[in-house]
Every structure is written in C-alpha cells, then in structure tokens.
C-alpha cells in the first residue's frame, strides 16, 4: 500500500488554517468563511473535532484538507503550545475556539456567567455569524451552508415523494435540556386535523424517540429519530417545505436554505442567531411570563455541568421555562402563516 506523507507534498502558495472544534452548529457557522477564503486563493485546512460537527461539513468543496481530532486528543493544558507551534505552518491562522461558547454564551466558571443578566444582554447580544467573520477578518456576505452529495439529494427527493405533497421536518431536541419544546403533540394533532395532505417527519438522536411516543399509528407522522443520520436529516431539509426546531445544529444548517423555518429561541436572541437566516419565523416566550432572564446568553450543560444550572424549569413538564412559555398557538399560527389559513384538501 502506497503511503502519502504530508511533508512530501508541494506547499501551496497561500495557506490558511481554521481551528474550530465543536458540534454541528459551530461547524456550519464556520463554513460561512470558506467561500471568501477560497476566492482569495488560500489553500484551506480545517482543524475540527471528530463526530457530527465534521460529518455535517465533510463534503464542503471549499476545504482542501481536514485534520480531524478526537475530543481532548490534545490535552487542554497543552492546546496553547500546540496552536503556537502549528500556526507557524500557515500564512493565515484563524482560531475560533470558544469564539461563541464562553464568549457570546457565558459558561459556568467564567466571569460572564456571574454578570447581572441585563449586562449579558447588553454586551453579548451580538450576531454569531458577524462575530465569526470579524474574528477571521473575512468580509460579508454571510453564507453558511451544508453540502449534500448527489446520492444524498436523490435519497431525500425519493423520501419526500414517498411521504406527501407537503412535508414538515421537525428537529426534536438540541444539545442541552433547554433545547426541547414541550408542546409538540398538541401542534401535531392540530396539523393532522386541519391539513390532510401534510406529513410530519420527526428527527433527532436516539434519546428523542421518547418524544415521538404516541404517534406510532398515525401514517402521516414519520418517526425517524435514532434512525436517520445527521446528514440524512440535513439532506431532507433541502427538500422539506417547513423546518421546525429549537436552537439545533440542523436549524443552523437550514438557515441559508430556501425552505421556511420556525425556531423556538432559548438562550440566544434573534440578533444572535436568526438575523441572517432566510424565510425564518423566530418564536419567543410570551411577554410577561416565563424565564425572568430571557435571553440569558448562558451555555447550559457545558463541560460536565448540569444543564439546569441557573436554568429555571417548568415543574410539570421538566422543560425550560423559556420553552414552556412559547404557547402552542404561537407555533400553530406560524405554520398557518406559511401554509395559509385555508384548509388544504388532499
């Protein structure tokens, strides 16, 4: 077997390295930088973390080389030394570690976690994409994107045709406890009654299967949590008519897609997250009720901390107050706005 050694390869004339460890949303936001860098003739290397973050962008045509590292492959106490040595290899170095998390989203153990909430709202209410571009010294436009393969596109089209005339893709849960919306069943029931040619596709990880319970006999509700990969879910988003969810990686990937989006905001504001998204209806807790810190700009559940640390819960459902107080009627009205109030006949 022929082995390839990187030191033997010809060195490109202009090189850029981006370091962005993290999950799906982090990777998708970072992808917004790639087109401009390629237009400037940089050979682009991305240092990323193994897992779903890498999976979500592994076919991005702008990245020339992925260096995939397992979590803590470089022990945290040696990261600075690793970066200082590695950056010498490149003409342009962009380190986005903790650029959103721990910076615009305060983490436990960091000073901003203890700030009065109104100060977090004042100083951390900055758009994630704009901030990422500023740090990288890359001008707009903001263009994060998921790239599906021809095979994935064909699979998604076939799935959509096999389901129904109109498909709603619903991302059930994000990376922490506050990214679950508790009124799912009420809205699904309403959609089933009012829109007979609408199908709903539920996606998420294996833990989301519990949120699908009760819809086993409804032929127009397709329970795919724990069955579809993240790339399958993202590919299906490209052909879905509406995409719904909390602040998940899937919704970040869908932000630049033409499909209509409905997102229930939690620790992020519209300014933070959805400002540059296409065709998006952001839903927020109703005024005068819910979490008194909303928006909290806090990173709940990070680095082994409880996801409910300083995150008030609804006692009955166990979900975050900010999610509980986004009323089902708000969601249903958003769906009606997109589909039209007139009943759609199959």
Where exactly are the structural domains of the chain? 13-97, 150-339
pLDDT of 345 above 50:
no
Distance from C-alpha of 294 to C-alpha of 275, rounded to nearest angstrom: 18
Global model pTM greater than 0.85: yes
Q: Tokens representing 288?
A: 């005068």
* Inter-CA distances, 6 with 66, 76, 131, Å: 13, 25, 33
| 202 bridge partner residues | 170, 223
Q: How many CB atoms lie within 10 A of CB 282?
A: 18
Q: Tokens representing 208?
A: 């989301």
Gyration radius of the chain's alpha carbons: 21
* Inter-CA distances, 21 with 72, 82, 85, Å: 10, 14, 18
Q: Sorting pLDDT into bands at 50, 70 and 90, what band is 11? A: confident
Q: Which residues contact 150 (CB under 8 A, 6 or more apart)?
A: none
Closest CA to 27 of 146, 149, 201, 192: 146
Q: Which tens digits make up the pLDDT trace of 55-114? A: 999 999 999 999 999 999 999 999 999 999 999 999 999 999 999 999 999 999 999 999
Pairing of strands 65-69, 198-203: unpaired
Q: Which tens digits make up the pLDDT trace of 275-305? A: 999 999 999 998 889 999 999 999 998 778 8
Q: In a 10 Å sphere around its CB, with 0-12 CB exposed, 13-18 middle and 19+ buried, how is residue 329 labelled?
A: middle
Question: DSSP H helical segments within 207-274, as ranges?
Answer: 230-237, 249-254
Is 166 strand, coil or helix?
strand
Phi-psi region of 209 (alpha: psi -120 to 50; beta: other; left: phi over 0): alpha
* Inter-CA distances, 11 with 16, 18, 91, 326, Å: 12, 17, 11, 53
The answer to whether 13-97 and 150-339 have equal CATH topology is yes
Q: Which tens digits make up the pLDDT trace of 174-198? A: 878 889 999 999 999 999 999 999 9
* Inter-CA distances, 225 with 58, 186, 319, Å: 22, 19, 19
Which CATH architecture does the domain made up of 13-97 adopt? 3-Layer(aba) Sandwich (3.40)
Specify the pLDDT at position 341. 46
Specify the pLDDT at position 188. 98
CATH fold of 150-339 reads Rossmann fold (3.40.50)
Are 141 and 278 in contact by the 8 Å Cβ rule? The answer is no
Q: Tokens representing 58?
A: 């592994």
């Amino acid at each position: 077997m022929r082995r390839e050694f990187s030191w033997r390869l010809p060195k490109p004339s202009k090189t850029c390295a981006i370091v962005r460890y993290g999950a799906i949303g982090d990777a998708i936001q970072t992808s917004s930088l790639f087109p401009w860098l390629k237009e400037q003739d940089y050979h682009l290397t991305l240092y990323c973390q193994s897992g779903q973050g890498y999976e979500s962008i592994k076919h991005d045509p702008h990245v020339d080389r992925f260096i995939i590292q397992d979590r803590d492959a470089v022990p945290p106490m040696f990261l600075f030394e690793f970066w200082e040595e590695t950056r010498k290899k490149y003409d342009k170095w962009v380190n986005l570690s903790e650029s959103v998390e721990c910076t615009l989203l305060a983490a436990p153990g960091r000073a901003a976690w203890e700030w009065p909430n109104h100060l977090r709202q004042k100083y951390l209410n900055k758009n994630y994409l704009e901030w990422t571009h500023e740090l990288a010294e890359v001008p707009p436009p903001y263009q994060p994107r998921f790239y599906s393969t021809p095979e994935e596109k064909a699979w998604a089209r076939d799935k959509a045709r096999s389901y129904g005339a109109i498909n709603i893709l619903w991302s059930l849960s994000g990376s922490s406890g506050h990214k679950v919306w508790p009124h799912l069943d009420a809205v699904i029931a309403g959609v089933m009654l009012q829109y007979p040619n609408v199908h709903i596709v539920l996606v998420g990880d294996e833990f989301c299967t519990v949120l699908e319970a009760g819809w086993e006999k409804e032929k127009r509700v397709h329970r795919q949590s724990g069955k579809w990969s993240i790339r399958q879910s993202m590919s299906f988003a490209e052909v879905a008519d509406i995409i719904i969810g909390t602040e998940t990686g899937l919704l970040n990937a869908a932000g630049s897609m033409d499909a209509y989006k409905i997102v229930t905001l939690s620790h992020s504001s519209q300014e933070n997250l959805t400002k540059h998204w296409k065709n998006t209806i952001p839903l927020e807790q109703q005024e005068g009720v819910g979490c008194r810190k909303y928006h909290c700009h806090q990173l709940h559940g990070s680095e082994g901390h409880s996801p409910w640390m300083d995150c008030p819960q609804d006692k009955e459902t166990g979900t975050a107050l900010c999610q509980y107080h986004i009323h089902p009627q708000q969601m249903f009205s958003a769906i009606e706005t997109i589909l039209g109030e007139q009943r759609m006949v199959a």
